[in-house]
Chains A and B, each alone.
Chain A
Amino acid sequence: MRALVWQGINKLAVETVDDPRILNPHDAIVRVTASVSCGSDLHLVGGYVPTMRAGDILGHEFLGEIVEVGSAVTKRRVGDRVVVNSFIACGQCWYCLQGKTSLCDNTNTAPGLNDALFGASLGGCFGFGYTTGGYAGSHAEYVRVPFVDVGSFVVPDGVTDAQAVFASDAVPTGWMGAYESNIQPGDVVAVWGAGGVGQMAARSAMLLGASRVVVIDRIPERLAQVRDVIGAETINYEEVDLQPELRELTGGRGADVAIEAVGLEAHSPGIDGVYDKLKTNLKLQTDRPTAVRQALFGVRKGGSVFILGVYAGFVDTFPLGAMMNKGLTVRTGQQNGHQYIPMLLERIQRGEISTDHLATHTMSLEDAPHGYEIFKNKEDGCVRALFVP
């Protein structure tokens, strides 16, 4: 089959590779019909998460048709059109039973690596290197899906591929950030990042009753999507002084809930951005916590912060003092979307959540290297590139 493989830092190519096959009784093979780029992929492509092996297949946000099932699969059948959660969960361990499926005890095949880096192992994930088990990714014609009964969801009638594919990751990630922040009616919510996850967090906050949602970014076409499609307000942080602007918009209080959807390659026009970039380039810190820092400052006293962006390791200049003295509640995590995806697919079907506008560029899998190029450089208005094998 054909697949997009990582050949080295900032070097991608489509190669012919072996087809996947059933390895365990709860597996299925899915013929991929749509797979999208994700901002977290860029951390792998650029070498910031150095656990990709040359030849690894990239991609984790996808849907397709089941073409083969293992002997213990009971809920899915050949021919089902399914969206697949990017994280692989067994559905039976204590964490899965608590709904924390990204923390699954049983699906990471290299747990010692996470133990060394984080003190515990998170679950497996498609196309994300050895940190999450080394599973082959979804930018391919076919993908092996372990525990398919747990991690796949039949797409409702009338929902297109371009709509449903984002229910794999961006929609449940955004929903989790808003829902688990315990947004109350009347809350003002600030979202850092107007990419797919940030937009979905903003829409989720609106659905959960926030009175005002403000999304912060610098890319004009993404901010335009936020205003025109999501229906939230925007701040371009390159045009205003962010913190006073945010304070003005929130009646002088600061945001009740701050959701960070940027991640470890954050940008800032200020001296803090220069400092963070220099330190990451010199490997004196692994991640740039610029957006997290801004969120901790921008939230009100006693407010809530959710870190949705992906971070790999260590940072300095983390404002622990602000977090402690303001009495903040900080939540974090990879997405636990298994519990939310059926409900979110129904909301997509009812038109409550718009997603297909995110796929600004649809192209053949053969053009995926170009897709990542424009996605990474934010060229031609690219928000997400959708690949059709």
Chain B
Amino acid sequence: MKKLVVVSAAVATVAAAGVLFTRRRMTTAQPRDERSRWRVVTVQRSEADVVGAMSPLTALGSGIETRLSTAPGDRGTELAARILPGSDLEPDELRIALRQTKQLAEAGEIAVVNPAPHGHRPSTPQGLLLDRVAKAAEGKGIL
């Protein structure tokens, strides 16, 4: 039974990784220009406050375009950004920058966990895969 549980957990991890890395192909038969589409976060702050926290986006250089608009229902500001044609930026970089801008504007800091204390980490295939999934998850997502 223990072996079955171990195998099952490994299968589940692989499945989670599969979902993470292949969602776009699974859900969109013919995606529009996915790489350069607008990506949007809602920030519970005024436009002026958002502008003051946009250093993660400005660090990406001239390869992006941004726009700000008032969010409905007193939910602050909608911050949108997209990768311009010709830029070699990856969508993951833009997602990370948008999330970090929102964190800076709302919470005043960017969430981090490492370096975190931990015990011995053996280099098992499942562990290495999980490391890769966790790292990729910083920049992946529906955003």
Contact = CB atoms under 8 A, between A and B. Distances in A.
Interface of A: 1, 3, 5, 7-10, 13, 15, 17-21, 23-26, 46-48, 50-51, 53-57, 72, 90-94, 97, 105-113, 115-117, 119-121, 124, 130, 133-136, 140, 144, 146-147, 281-283, 286
Contacts of B111: 24, 106-109, 124, 133, 146
B29 to A, nearest CB: 19
Interface of B: 1-2, 4-6, 8-13, 16, 19-20, 23, 42, 44, 75-76, 95, 99, 102-103, 106-113, 115-122, 124, 127, 130-131, 133-134, 136-143
Contacts of A112: 20, 95, 136-141
Interface secondary structure of A, over-half rule: loop
Contacts of A146: 111
B134 A113 contact: yes
Contact of A54 (B5, B106, B117, B127): B127
Contacts, number: 177
Contacts of A25: 108-109
Given A117-B16, A283-B8, A57 B119 contact: yes
A135 B2 CA distance: 27
A110 B138 contact: yes
B113 A24 contact: no
B44 A97 contact: yes
Contacts of A281: 1, 4-5, 8
A50 B112 contact: no
B109 A24 contact: yes
A206 B107 CA distance: 37
B143 to A, nearest CB: 7
Contacts of A20: 116-117
Given A112-B140, A116-B16, A94 B107 contact: no
A53 B119 CA distance: 10
A250 B133 CA distance: 49
B133 A130 contact: yes
Given A106-B111, A110-B137, A117-B19, A136 B12 contact: no
B3 to A, nearest CB: 10
Contacts of B9: 9, 47-48, 50
Contacts of A5: 118-120
Contacts of A21: 115
29 contacts: A8-B6, A15-B120, A17-B117, A18-B115, A24-B110, A24-B111, A25-B109, A47-B12, A50-B130, A51-B130, A53-B118, A55-B120, A92-B44, A92-B106, A93-B102, A94-B44, A106-B111, A110-B137, A110-B138, A111-B137, A113-B134, A113-B137, A113-B140, A116-B141, A119-B142, A130-B133, A134-B134, A135-B116, A136-B118
Nearest to B142: A115
Nearest to A6: B119
B109 A54 contact: no
A97 B112 CA distance: 22
B140 A115 contact: yes
A147 B130 contact: no
A382 B23 CA distance: 43
Contacts of B23: 116
Given A47-B8, A106-B111, 17 more contacts: A5-B118, A5-B119, A8-B6, A9-B5, A20-B117, A24-B110, A51-B13, A51-B134, A53-B118, A57-B119, A90-B107, A105-B106, A111-B143, A119-B142, A135-B113, A281-B4, A283-B11
Contacts of A48: 9
A50 B12 contact: yes
Contact of A109 (B16, B19, B44, B113): B113
B117 A23 contact: no
A71 B78 CA distance: 30
A47 B8 CA distance: 9
B19 A54 contact: no
A17 B6 contact: no
Per CB-CB distance, the 3 closest pairs between chain A and chain B, nearest first, are A112-B140, A5-B119, A47-B9
A61 B108 CA distance: 26
Contacts of A53: 118, 121, 127, 130-131, 134
Contact of B138 (A15, A50, A97, A109): A109
